[in-house]
Amino acid sequence: MPDPLTVSGSFSPEDVKHIGLKSIISGQIIKKYSQNQNLRSIKNVKLIIPSKAVSVDRNERTLFIPCLKLLLNYRFSNNFNKVSQIEIDNVYAYVAVVFPDEEPESFGYYIGVDRNTMGHIAVVADPDSGKVWKLGKMRYHIHQKYQNIMNRLSNSGKNKQLKAVKKREKNIVKDLNHKISRKIVDLALYNGSGIKLENLKGIRKLNSKSNGAGKGKPDQNKDKKLTCSNEYSLNNWSFLQLQQFIEYKARLRGGRGSLY
């Protein structure tokens, strides 16, 4: 590994020549770090490879980056227009591609996805077979766990740790939404069906009205507990993110399992 790059004064391509990167990459490093006056050294750099530096072989389903002598295999659909960029760190390569905006396929029937459930992130139902899949039952426990941690940190005034815990929970939510959306799209592909998501528009307002209803009645506390649980289910889990993940995964699989 090359020595860390010491940052001082202005940059030129000669300053990063010893790293052994082509100008298309070294110029990117200069642009990214030369304006940061507080930066003292650089040990690891996330490289962003632009489209013009990537060679695509659709027959072999490979991406080749000549300046890094790096060959990548891809498994997503071949109907993309172009590779926008590739971001590379020390473990992963993140490929951004542009797909054509096509009309979704029409299907004979659909599997239904309920995202506003009491005990799970999503419940999927196949009306033909009557099968039901309950996905993400741990989401309430995850929320409770991190909510308790954040309450303790907030009361102790540990704002830096509080921020880290919030980020950790957000990453867990994102990972679960990735896994669940992939499962839903796979189910649609297996059944040759489309996907219909429950329309959640207006549920937030409905829950708000429910919380204000029934004042003075004997079962007021019972109703309030139920509606608050519904409100958590909708408002504190990233259902929009789940929908977006389902949409783009369906597109990546060639349009099968399209969203309606």
Any domain includes 258: no
My answer on whether 92 and 122 are in the same domain is: no
My answer on whether 82 and 133 are in the same domain is: no
Tally of domains within the chain: 3
Any domain includes 153: yes
Q: What is the pLDDT of residues 156-193, one digit of tens each?
A: 888 888 888 888 988 888 898 899 999 999 988 888 88
My answer on whether 35 and 51 are in the same domain is: no
Q: Please give the pLDDT value at position 140.
A: 75
Q: Please give the pLDDT value at position 122.
A: 86
- pTM for the model stands at 0.56
What are the beta bridge partners of residue 70?
Answer: 65
My answer on whether 117 and 225 are in the same domain is: yes
My answer on whether 65 and 127 are in the same domain is: no
Any domain includes 239: yes
Q: Please give the pLDDT value at position 50.
A: 86
Q: Which amino acid would we find at residue 133? A: W
Which pair of structure tokens corresponds to residue 157? 């005034």
Supply the mean pLDDT for the chain: 75
Any domain includes 245: yes
End-to-end CA distance of the chain, in Å? 51
My answer on whether 157 and 58 are in the same domain is: no
My answer on whether 163 and 36 are in the same domain is: no
Report how far residue 14's alpha carbon sits from residue 6's, in angstroms, rounded to the nearest whole number: 13
Report how far residue 218's alpha carbon sits from residue 58's, in angstroms, rounded to the nearest whole number: 67
My answer on whether 54 and 6 are in the same domain is: no
Q: Which domain holds residue 40?
A: 1-45
Across the range 230-242, mean pLDDT stands at 60
My answer on whether 97 and 128 are in the same domain is: no
Which of these, 69, 63, 60, lies nearest to 51 by C-alpha position?
63
My answer on whether 25 and 59 are in the same domain is: no
My answer on whether 223 and 123 are in the same domain is: yes
Which of these, 49, 59, 60, lies nearest to 97 by C-alpha position?
49
Q: What is the pLDDT of residues 133-146, one digit of tens each?
A: 988 887 778 878 88
Percent residues over pLDDT 70 in the chain: 69
Any domain includes 54: yes
Task: Supply the DSSP string of the chain, one letter for each residue.
Answer: -PPPEEP-S---GGGGGGGT--HHHHHHHHHHHTT-TT--EES---EEEEGGG-EEETTTTEEEETTTTEEEE--S-S--SEEEEEEE-SS-EEEEEE----PPPP-S-EEEEE---SSSSEEEE-TTT--EEEE-TTHHHHHHHHHHHHHHHHHHT-HHHHHHHHHHHHHHHHHHHHHHHHHHHHHHHHHT-EEEE---TTHHHHHHHHHHSSTTSTTHHHHHHHHHHHHHHHHSS-HHHHHHHHHHHHHHTTTTT-B-
Any domain includes 260: no
What are the beta bridge partners of residue 196?
Answer: 112
What are the beta bridge partners of residue 132?
Answer: 125
Any domain includes 53: yes
Q: Please give the pLDDT value at position 13.
A: 63
